[in-house]
Amino acid sequence: MTAPARTPADAPPAPGEVLLRAEGLAVHFPQRGGPPVRAVDGVDLEVRRGETLGLVGESGCGKSTLGLALLRLVEPTAGRIELDGTDVTALGRRELRGLRRRVAMVFQDPYASLDPRQTIGRIVAEPLEVHGLAPGRAARRARVDELLAMVGLDPSFRDRRPHELSGGQRQRVGVARALAGEPELIVCDEPISSLDVSIQAQVLNLLVRLQRELGLTYLFVAHDLAAVQHVSDRVAVMYLGRIVEVGDTARVTGDPAHPYTRALLSAVPVPDPPAERVRRRIVLSGDVPSPAAPPSGCRFRTRCPDAFEPCPHVDPALADLGGGHRAACHLHGVVGTPVDEAGAALLDDPA
């Protein structure tokens, strides 16, 4: 409503250096008496320094597991993660502590992620102790007050416990704790979805302000496309363990290249009754297939309104459509890994 006018100096983000890179990342969970659940199944992803990369997808697509795997809070079963050029997939226990200082996490449910028996002061001080920051009681206390102030909480919150706080205040504590280790990258996993509508905007504004002030990089994992679009420079769309589309926010939300992204965007209700009445929704049929037995070829083909001949036979590659916009869909050319002989014959450019 009160958006200040854009000044000519407001340039779109320069393509920054890569802070975090995942290559062929997979997280498979073994299942008793059955094939493993392929929660994350071959993900290539780059997060650039200073940007917000939105990661969207529906429940069960693997987006939260991917976020956890980047911090090695769940162990990847294959692939490689680099932070600033250093391979973190091979780090030992002691070195992992350094990783978790540089990459922090804000969780969805501030009710579940804060220890109910601890005071807010203890919760925020814990990462300081773990990482040996602000040594000494007085210094630590001053730093806790500073962190609370950064997230808009009065120092008096130090002596309260989580149950005395509202949902929005608890999420602020979760953010203060994430900031304690002075991270470069924060993985925000559904940070506003458990909050009331009028509180969501407060927390989104806080995250944006902190990024501006501290030069943070965010991976913003959420199912709420409107919120993701608001905060993100780039967006990655995930379906059944794979990234199916990634690119600048304006490109992905304004001119989506993957039929799944199109369906997802068309399903988001907009608070505008006349627009809602004339809108054509792409209603997908059926449910998401089990990640233990994904369909052959393109994983979206069983629900895709545009599926055609090569889709069951060729696993589509995330192909560049120009300007860093990438999509894994044969509508833009049949490229990828054939799953059978029929697939090999269908490739656009059989090498």
Name the residues that contact other proteins, by CB under 8 A: 1-6, 9-13, 58-59, 166, 168, 196-202, 204-205, 208-209, 211-212, 223, 225-227, 229-231, 233, 249-250, 253, 263-277, 279, 281, 283-284, 286-288
- Residues linked to residue 218 through DSSP beta bridges, in sequence order: 52, 186
Question: Whose CA is closest to 192, among 226, 146, 165, 163?
Answer: 226
Instruction: Specify the residue, 58 or 182, whose C-beta has the smaller distance to other proteins.
Output: 58
Task: Give the shortest CB-321-to-other proteins separation in angstroms.
Answer: 21
Give the C-alpha distances (Å, rounded to integers) separating 11 from 14, 15, 350.
8, 11, 41
Pick from 108, 325, 300: which is nearest to 235 by CA? 325
Shortest approach of other proteins to residue 182 CB, angstroms?
A: 20
Measured distance CA(186)–CA(21) in Å, rounded: 14
Whichever of 98 and 289 has its CB closer to other proteins, that residue is: 289
171 or 249: CB nearest other proteins: 249
Q: Which is nearer to other proteins, 78 or 201 (CB)?
A: 201
- Cβ at position 234, least distance to other proteins in Å: 12
Give the bridge partners for 43, in sequence order: 25
The CB-of-148 to other proteins minimum distance in angstroms stands at 18
Q: Please give the helix or strand (H or E) that residue 55 lies within, else none.
A: strand 52-56
- The runs of H, that is alpha helices, within 225-338 are 225-231, 249-254, 259-267, 273-278
Of residues 134 and 195, the one with the C-beta less far from other proteins: 195
Nearest approach in angstroms of CB 11 to other proteins is 7
197 burial via Cβ count (<10 Å: 0-12, 13-18, 19+): exposed
What is the nearest approach in angstroms of other proteins to the Cβ of residue 61? 9
Q: DSSP state, 155?
A: G
Could you tell me the smallest distance in angstroms from the CB atom of residue 288 to other proteins?
8
Complex with other proteins: residue 52 or 334, whichever CB lies closer: 52
CB 157 within 8 A of CB 173: yes
> Is the Cβ of residue 26 or residue 210 nearer to other proteins in the bound state?
210
Sign of CA dihedral 233, 251, 47, 13: negative
Helix (H, G, I), strand (E, B) or coil at 109: coil
Report the nearest approach of other proteins to the CB of residue 217 (Å). Answer: 13
C-alpha closest to that of 229 among 206, 204, 211: 204
What is the per-residue DSSP string for 247-273?
EEHHHHHHS--SHHHHHHHHHS--S-H
Residue found under tokens 């987006």? 63
Nearer to other proteins, 198 or 349 (CB): 198
